[in-house]
Amino acid sequence: MFDFFLLPATPVNVWIVILLTGVVTYITRSAGHVVLARFKNLHPRAEAALEAVPGAVLVTIVLPPALTNGPVEIIAMLAALAASFRLSPIAVLAIGMFIVVVGRAFGF
């Protein structure tokens, strides 16, 4: 039973994992009303921690693999980083992907 959670998802069981990601997401969408709403005020430190969660998680997904990238990928990431100060996510994605596709087409 617990082995299921310890092992990697495989093509055989991935549909169960997908349903579980749905369950986990539903828990986050209802838990706020079920649990947090019972407290009138959230402690400011708890609130600061909650505010920081998405950024803190995303950087751990992006940064470590990016450091092992090749030059085209690193340039694309840096360009996307610069673009994200002014442009929408869709435009950032377009710029980054354009650099990757063109760079690879030229054999880098």
Tell me which residues in 3-62 interact with another protein (CB under 8 A). 4-9, 11, 14-15, 17-22, 24-37, 39-62
DSSP state, residue 45:
H
Q: Which of residues 67-86 bind another protein (CB under 8 A)?
A: 67, 73, 76-77, 80-81, 84-85
Measure the CA–CA gap between 43 and 41, rounded to whole angstroms: 6
Determine, following the binding rule CB under 8 A, whether residue 90 of this chain makes contact with another protein. yes
Identity of the residue numbered 72:
V
- Report, in Å, the least distance between residue 6 CB and another protein: 6
CB of 2 to another protein, least distance (A): 9
CB contact set of 37 (below 8 Å; sequence gap of 6+)? none
The verdict on 108 binding another protein (CB under 8 A) reads no
Instruction: Retrieve residue 39's tokens.
Output: 């407290």
